[in-house]
Structure 1
Amino acid sequence: MTTNSLNALSDQSPTNWLRVTRYTQGVIGPSQKMLGPLANGGTLVTGTPPGCWGPMITPSFQGGHEVTQPVAIEGAEIGDAVALKIQRMTVTSFATSSGVMKFVEGRYTGDPFVHKFCAECGTEHPASHVEGIGEMAIRCNHCGAEVNAFRFGHGYVIVLDHENQVSLTVNQDVANRLAGNASEMSALPELAAQHSILSLARADMPGVASRMRPFLGNIGTTPSRDLPDSHNCADFGQYLIDAPHRYGMSEADLHAAKTDGHMDTNAVREGCILICPVKVPGAGVYMGDMHAQQGNGEIAGHATDVSGETELTVEVIKGLTIDGPILLQNLEDLPPLARPMSALETQKVRELGARWGQRDIEESGPITFIGSGPDLNAATKNGLQRAADVTGLPYDEVLNRATITGSIDISRLPGTVRVTFLCPLNVLDRIGIGHLVREKYQLG
């Protein structure tokens, strides 16, 4: 974002409510014009198109998602943090498709998510259209050649029951019918530019039932330099290091710029609070990549990407300098050892202490640090170090607390994790989020 556009935003009166209906076509960073400013405490509503497969099969995209135009938040300055309190999250797609991906060699440079071209006419990021259904359906507007850089290794089509929050994969005949009405079944927003993945109609796994449990896979604040939106993290982001395209950068530049918005953490759902770093003036809150469901790890590499609507409120936390997200999970999503003790359990702990002469009992609350890296070991170390850096607790103490009052949980393979533990409330107060933890978990 330019200095002039920042000044123009600062001259505008903050609004208390804002709806976002425009998207960035795969890139997030300072070059994207921000909406707003949204008042500190204001409400943000977004309608988001699917992430991953739709943008992947749309060659004009330069990233793997289609996230919302960023929003400036009143008073958010570099070195602050912004708390996103998710009030509502609703799936709007009626069906989607996903599966294990394969690349088509000769149709990309370095990274098929970022730099695609038509193998027939050589056009980079060509405009394209859908002809018919199936894996040959994506066609270059310039020469008519089939141009998709991705294939399914194994795929499925799944229909969704919003009211009862269940879903079911379907057979090839149903998949073909859905493909004939792909945009409507995907409920693509009016201004979305992606092709619907339902057009490919890959149905290898019919009859599998699953519960719906929607969450956002990519949500946070704008990185300090332009990045493909799906690479705003350390594991996908590692493919930008010395890459042979315009988004190639050094490892140091990547880690300085990214905000780890793309974390595919299935606990980032209705009711949670996500605290994000501010690395550009105004923060630039954006979101996308809603999933209808996903287990820990996103084992297949992709899950059930859907259109949806999200409503949240924002709160600026002055002076909380963090390198990546902090998550206050819903109580039922917390690891068992990180859940606050009940009144009865607390009474029994006091009685235990009295028997042994330990009168002082720490008051604490749950906190989760997102860690990211090229693999799970690096991501775990990163999350633990972030926890130590932000709280001021010794690193070894964080290890002990995560062991007996928390857990390490995989968010995404190959390298995004959750580091959760019970943290002393006086520490949470000192860093400026004690009030959020008390409110979230109803602590005295």
Structure 2
Amino acid sequence: MTTTLPTRVEDRNPVHRLHVASYTDGLLGPSQPMLGPLADGGTLIAGTPPGCWGPMITPAFQGGHEVTQPVAIAGAEVGDAVALKIERMRVTSLATSSGVMQFVEGRYHGDPFVAKFCPACGTEHPASHLEGIGAEAVRCDHCGAEANAFRFRHGYVIVFDHENQVSLTVNQSVADRLAANASQMSALPELAAQHSILSLARADMPGVAAHMRPFLGNIGTTPSHDLPDSHNCADFGQYLVGAPHRYAISEEALHAAKTDGHMDTNSVREGCIVICPVKVPGAGVYLGDMHAQQGNGEIAGHATDVSGETQLSVEVIKRLTLEGPILLQNVEDLPPMARPMSAGQRRCVAELGARWGQHEVEQSGPVTFIGSGVNLNEATENGLRRAASVTGLSYEEVLNRATITGSIEISRLPGTVRVTILCPLAILDRIGIGHLVREKYQLS
């Protein structure tokens, strides 16, 4: 078990390999003690409990996820970036449950993800326990009242075949059996504090087969102001602006603090590289909210949250100031227009140019900018402007490049997108990520 050391993190000797198995209570920010430091180039291995539904139905949580305790990275200073190279990812849950949510009024102050209270005794963020299974199983430790601030409008229970990467939703009888052994079926880590969502046993959609394609929904670096972990983004974060609880923040402060780690981007999976802003000394790398599968958009509001294990390595990129993540996606996840050309295609391009007198052919590589906003239009403009700001290209040139050599894709409703372009390698070299792009896509 990894524990926080008594000395200041900056005074400790860096380690080259670190296992993390401790979690926050739904908050991220400067108040959270960091583990580490992990050496530049070091390996981080983390076991993570499910995000979303488990923390949602656990009243003590102050955010919608249960992410790992942040890790300091040696040499990472404010204004740098940290590249997280995801080397391995696997689901450990045998089953989970998810669906379309509804709130239970009278059990939260403004935001049921952040500010829950018991409707009977009024205790804020009460400790709780489970009694039986079903929608009313969550009970306040102080008075015994039912205290879950969420319900399913439509829900399902799903089981996994890890070896063959397929899954199947089950009927009510099976869901009830799984609920009786919910923590084990969820494979909750030892120090996880959430109730398993399997305990609610909602099975409205049996017999649906689906592919598995695990990814991390929340991964990145610590924001510069304490934020609920699920609100480290612009679309969920908008509900903190002027909120009637202690995590209320101004719009300006939110945008200055957040690092957009909660992006629910289904290509943040094994083999990809996530390049994250550093907004606190040491970066404070964290991860969580693994999903077993999800298409673009997380249309239902929630996907299949699971326990899992992830291994990644880190690299500090000096003096690359970012507002949000850059993603180097796996080739098969890139939009078709942004995939690097083959040697044969490049020969054809050179021949085409020669016929017309255009002898210079740009050397470029794919790069994806995460954009976030209160809705998809604002998120798209945000991603485009981030691309322009980081690369130094004009906004109008980014628009043209995204149109003919890239794409805009939904990561999450209501407001997270990925903006992908083919960018000149000379620019990527200048900002410090050219070597990562060349290696990732085998470019000369």
| Partner in structure 2 of residue 192 of structure 1 | 192
| Partner in structure 2 of residue 337 of structure 1 | 337
How far did 1:7 drift?
7.8
How far did 1:134 drift?
0.3
| Partner in structure 2 of residue 417 of structure 1 | 417
How far did 1:6 drift?
11
d(CA) in 1 for partners of 2:328, 2:119: 46
d(CA) in 2 for partners of 1:255, 1:322: 12
| Partner in structure 2 of residue 89 of structure 1 | 89
| Partner in structure 1 of residue 173 of structure 2 | 173
Amino acid at match of 1:349: V
CA deviation profile, 1:119-147 (whole Å, cap 9, x unmatched): 10111000000000000100000111100
How far did 1:12 drift?
1.2
| Partner in structure 2 of residue 325 of structure 1 | 325
What is the correspondence of 1:297-308 to structure 2 with a 5 Å cutoff? Answer: 297-308=297-308
| Partner in structure 1 of residue 393 of structure 2 | 393
| Partner in structure 1 of residue 242 of structure 2 | 242
d(CA) in 2 for partners of 1:122, 1:320: 47
Aligned length: 440
CA deviation profile, 1:175-208 (whole Å, cap 9, x unmatched): 0000000000000000000000000000000000
d(CA) in 1 for partners of 2:82, 2:260: 14
| Partner in structure 2 of residue 41 of structure 1 | 41
d(CA) in 2 for partners of 1:9, 1:110: 36
Amino acid at match of 1:200: L
SS at match of 2:235: coil
d(CA) in 1 for partners of 2:6, 2:132: 45
| Partner in structure 2 of residue 357 of structure 1 | 357
| Partner in structure 2 of residue 311 of structure 1 | 311
TM-score, normalization: structure 2? 0.99
| Partner in structure 2 of residue 155 of structure 1 | 155
| Partner in structure 2 of residue 265 of structure 1 | 265
d(CA) in 2 for partners of 1:193, 1:317: 35
SS at match of 2:8: helix
CA deviation profile, 1:390-431 (whole Å, cap 9, x unmatched): 000000000000000000000000000000010000000000
SS at match of 2:275: strand
d(CA) in 1 for partners of 2:226, 2:75: 22
Amino acid at match of 2:110: G
Amino acid at match of 1:429: D
SS at match of 1:154: strand
How far did 1:434 drift?
0.1
| Partner in structure 1 of residue 281 of structure 2 | 281
d(CA) in 2 for partners of 1:38, 1:63: 26
Structure 1: stretches of 5+ with no match in the other structure: none
SS at match of 1:397: helix
Amino acid at match of 1:55: P
CA deviation profile, 1:281-311 (whole Å, cap 9, x unmatched): 0000000000000000000000000000000
SS at match of 1:371: strand
Root-mean-square deviation (CA, aligned residues, Å) is 0.9
d(CA) in 1 for partners of 2:225, 2:336: 39
CA deviation profile, 1:213-265 (whole Å, cap 9, x unmatched): 00000000000010000000000000000101010010000000000000000
How far did 1:8 drift?
2.0
Identity over aligned pairs, percent: 80
SS at match of 1:236: helix
SS at match of 1:344: helix
d(CA) in 1 for partners of 2:117, 2:368: 40
How far did 1:10 drift?
1.9
d(CA) in 2 for partners of 1:224, 1:205: 42
d(CA) in 2 for partners of 1:92, 1:276: 26
Are positions 1:367 and 2:367 aligned together? yes
d(CA) in 1 for partners of 2:224, 2:236: 17
SS at match of 2:144: coil
Structure 2: stretches of 5+ with no match in the other structure: none
d(CA) in 1 for partners of 2:359, 2:260: 41
d(CA) in 1 for partners of 2:50, 2:8: 32
Amino acid at match of 1:188: L
d(CA) in 2 for partners of 1:96, 1:11: 41
Amino acid at match of 1:231: H
Amino acid at match of 2:219: I
d(CA) in 1 for partners of 2:264, 2:319: 27
TM-score, normalization: structure 1? 0.99
d(CA) in 1 for partners of 2:237, 2:160: 32
d(CA) in 1 for partners of 2:19, 2:237: 29
Amino acid at match of 1:152: F
| Partner in structure 2 of residue 133 of structure 1 | 133
SS at match of 2:234: coil
